[in-house]
Amino acid sequence: MELGAWLASSPAALIVVCALLGLLIGSFLNVVILRLPARLQHEWEAQSREILALVALGEGTAHAQVPPTESGTESPDSSRAAQNRAAVAEALEPVVPQAPPDIVLARSRCPRCGHNLSPWENIPLLSFLLLRGRCRACRNPISWQYPLVEALTGLAFAVCAWRYGLTPQLAIALVASSALIALSGIDMRTQLLPDQITLPLLWFALLAAALGWTIGPVQAIFGAALGYLSLWSVYWVFKLLTGKEGMGYGDFKLLAALGALVGVRGILPIVLIASFLGAIMGSIQLAVQGRDRATPIPFGPYLAAAGFIQLVMGSTILAAWNAWFGLG
């Protein structure tokens, strides 16, 4: 029996295979969570340094060049400008930081001592248990983020396999779950939702709808638009009333991507679930950390959690919603 036919005929086997796959993907998502923000920061600093260098040389707003003299040689002003360029370049060169490790090619290593991990130290969950939560080289504790992300991804993949079976919808759910977990981890650490993940997720959802694998394309487009505009409107109303920014633009893009996945009818349940989770978990976090309510709390993880719930339980949620309000 072929593997595909076997998995299609055995839901339990499909769940186990997807759970194991989730553990492996979760290990990679840890790399993304840790390295992508650092690489983005490095790129932003490099671009800023380039702009500042151009401004320092007087090239930020004009690119006029000093013409040569009649004899064909450089004028004193032109020579002086070249010397200035060289001086600025020399001044900026020594402090350019080394680029962070590549996300795909660079080997995993201990963030404290730099020890390169061997293959057996990279086995999801099992390595953490065998090493007893400590680096083999320096014996410093390993962050609990690693096993938690791996276990969460494995669990999410198993739930998706249980919900969708061996269908195109399963592949879409697995990709979306991976993106949501990566975004949640990054937002919790840095309060950033990178365009490098939110925008591809949005286009992926729209293309899946256009191919007929999820909701209809019209529903996906309107879901994306409503998702973006709903939080965009809340952002501006809050800012006009308080003069403060209540959330970032990354939240708008994330809800737009979720709207493209679940459609217009899924936007309100996502927002309500995310707000409920954010209120409960945020209050607990502030109480544990001893901070006041003015402390910013990332909203992305709660949007991601609510989006995943809607993705795998949307029909049940909408049925309960309609029954509650007598709509169905």
Confidence of residue 67 (pLDDT cuts 50, 70, 90): low
pLDDT value at 306 more than 50: yes
Strand partners, 109: 116
**Could you tell me which residues are beta bridge partners of residue 134?**
141
Give the type of residue at 138.
Answer: C
CA angle, corner 177, sides to 269 and 205, nearest 5? 75
Poorest-pLDDT segment among 65-69, 183-187, 295-299: 65-69
Higher pLDDT, 132 or 324: 132
Residues 270 and 313: their CA atoms lie apart, in Å, by 11
Tell me the pLDDT band of 107, cut-offs 50, 70 and 90. confident
Assigned token pair, 47: 């671009």
The confidence score (pLDDT) of residue 80 equals 65
Q: What is the pLDDT of residues 39-64, one digit of tens each?
A: 888 888 878 777 776 665 565 444 44
- Residue-level pLDDT at 284: 85
267, 230 contact by CB (below 8 A)? yes
Kindly calculate the radius of gyration of the chain based on its CA atoms and give it in whole angstroms. Answer: 25
Q: With pLDDT > 90 as the criterion, what percentage of the chain qualifies? A: 41
Find the mean pLDDT for residues 128-143.
86
pLDDT over 50 (residue 269) = yes
Q: What is the value of pTM for the model shown?
A: 0.83
